[in-house]
Structure 1
Amino acid sequence: MIHPRVIRKQRWLLGLLLALLLLVSVVGAGVGYSSLSFDRLLPTLLGSGTFKEQFVLFSVRLPRIAVTLLAGMALALSGAVLQGITRNELADPGIIGVNSGAGVAIATFYLFLPIDSRTFAWMLPLVAFLGAIVTALVIYALAYRRKSGLQPTSFVLMGVGVSLALSGAMVVIVSSAEREKVDFVSKWLAGSVWGADWPFIAAVAPWLALLIPFVLSRSNRLNLLEMSDSAAIGIGVAVPKERFVLLLSATALAATAVSVAGGVAFIGLMAPHIARSLIGPRHQLMLPLALAIGAFLLLTADTIGRNLVNPDGIPAGIMVSLLGAPYFLYLLLRKSR
C-alpha cells in the first residue's frame, strides 16, 4: 500500500511539471527565427491572428512543440522500462543500441529505397520499429543463457557493443550515398527534431496512444521484475515472458520517438533517474513523473537550441548530450564506488 502522503507528493510534483511544460511551450511558441509576440499567442490560437501569425503558430511552432513532447515522453518511458527489466540504472535506448538500430533502418530506407511522399510519414515509424526490434532481438539473443535466462548485465554490455557496430555500419551507409541525401541523415544523427509537421504527429500518435497506457498498466510487474528472478518467479511472475513483452514495448517507444526526433540520447537515462530521486522507485508513481520530465527536458533543449544560432539552431540531441554526458559520467562514478 502506498502512503497517502507519497501520493499527494507525486500529484503535487506532477502538477508542477505540467505547469513548467505549459510555460516552456508558451515560450517556445513565441520565440524563434520568426518571432510571434506573446500577447498575440492567444488571439492567434483562437483564430484572430494575421495570416503570418497563424502560419508561424499552426504550421511551424505547434507541430514542433507537439512532436518534441511526444518524443520526450516516449524516450523517458522506454528508458524507465529498460532500467527496470535489466535492473541496471545505466540502461538507455540510445546507449544500448536500440536507437542505432532504428537509425540504420531509417538511413537505409531513405537513402536507397524509393520514397512515396504520400506514405513517407506513415512508413517512417514502421521502418524505425523494424530496425529497432531486430537490434533488440539480436542483443536479447546474445545476452540470453539457456540455464539462467536473460542476464541483465550482459544485455547492457552486448547493447553497447552492438551500438558501436551499428555506428560503423552507419558510416559505411552514409559514405556510399548521394551527397544531397546525406544532409538529412546527418541532421538525424545529431538529434534534429525534423519531423515537425502534422502528418508525422498523426503517424506516431496512435503508436504512443497504445504503448504508453500499456506500459503504465504493467507498473506493478516492473516493480516485481526489479527483484531477483527467483523472488519474482516465487510470487508467480512469468519473468521471461514479462521481460520480453516489456522489451518489445520499450523498443517500440524508442523507435517511434527517434523516427521523428532523430538520434536523441540520454533522455531515457536522465528522466527515470530524476523521477526516481523525487518520488522513489515505485513505478506506479515514478513513470508518470518520468513522462513529464522527459517531455520537459527535450522541449527545453529544443527551445534553447533552436534560438542560440539562427536560422537552423543547434539540434536538440546535441543540447541534451551536453547535459546528459556529464550526468552519465556521474552515474558511472557513483556506481563504481
Structure 2
Amino acid sequence: MTVVTNLEPKRQKPSTALEDLTALVADDLARVNELIVKHMDSPVALIPQLGGYIVAAGGKRLRPVLTLAAANLCRYQGTKHQLLAAVVEFIHTATLLHDDVVDESNLRRGLASANAVFGNKASVLVGDFLFSRSFQLMVEAGSLEALDILSNASAVIAQGEVLQLQTTNDITTTEDAYLEVIKGKTAELFAAACRVGGVVADVDETVLTALWDYGMNLGIAFQLVDDVLDYSAHQATLGKTVGDDFREGKLTLPVILSVERGDAEERAFWQRTMEELEQTDEDLAHAQALMVRHNALIDTVARARHYGSLANTALTVFPDSPLRQALENVVEFVISRDF
C-alpha cells in the first residue's frame, strides 16, 4: 500500500501561481505553440504523430514560459524569445522521450508513455529528430550566444543522465554526487531557459547571471520535490507510477538520507533492494516507512526550500513588478505541488 506522507510545514501560495505566470506571457506562448506545431511537421507521418502525442499530453510548458518571462522581465520587444522558447520545449520533449525509454516507464502525465504506445525505437528516433529540429531553430534565432548556451545545455543534460546511470544501484552515492546529477539532468535546462531570455534582450552580465541562478536553483528545487513525490504522492495525482525510482534502484536524496541515518539492518535492506534489485511487493512500503522514520522526505523538501530561497534572492536585481512576483510565486508552486 502506498504511503502518502504529510510534508508540512508548507507555506502555500495560490495554486494558480503557474497559471498566473503563464497568463502574463499568454500572447508569446500562443506563438510558441504555433512554432512547435509548425516545426514538428514532417513528411514522415510518425514524427508529428508521436511528437504531437507527448506535447499534447498535458505538459505545463514551464521551461519555455520561463524563457518568455525572462525576456519580458528584461523588457525585450522582439520575437526571438519565442523561437528560443520553442527550442527549450523541443529539447525538453526530446529528453522526456529518451528518459522514458531508458527508465522503461509506462506512464507520463497520467497517460501511457510514448514508448509504451509507439515503441522504444520510434521514441528514441523521434527524440533525435526533435533535438535536430531544436538546433535548426537556434540557428534561425540568429544569436550565437543563445546557441552556445542551449547547445551546451543539451550536452550537460546528456552527461547528467549518464552520471545518473553510474550512481544507480550504488548505495554509497553521496548527496554531493546526487546534486551533480540533478544539476545536469534537470536544472541546467531551467537555467539555460532563463538566461537566453536575457541574452536576446542584450542585458549585462549581472542580469544574465541572476537569471541563470534563478533557473538553476528553481530546477534543483523542482527535481528534489520530484524525487520526494516518487515516494509520497498518489499515482493518480502524480501522473506516473509511484515508486519507479525505487524499482529502478535510483539513488535519490530520500534514499541517500535514509541510508546515511539507518542502522546495519536497514542498510542491508537498501543494499538488497537498491543494489541487487531483489524486491518484494512489501518493500516499497517499507522503504517509505524508513524515510518517514528518518525524516528523509521532510528534509529533502527542506533542501528544496533552501534552493527556492536562493532562486528568489537572485530576482532581487530586478525592480518589483507583477512579473517578478509571479516568478517568485512559481518557486512556491514548485515546492508545494503534489504532481
Please state which band the TM-score falls in when normalised by the shorter chain: under 0.3
TM-score of the two chains, using structure 1 as the length reference: 0.27
TM-score of the two chains, using structure 2 as the length reference: 0.27
If asked which structure has higher relative contact order (CA below 8 Å, sep 6+), I would say 1
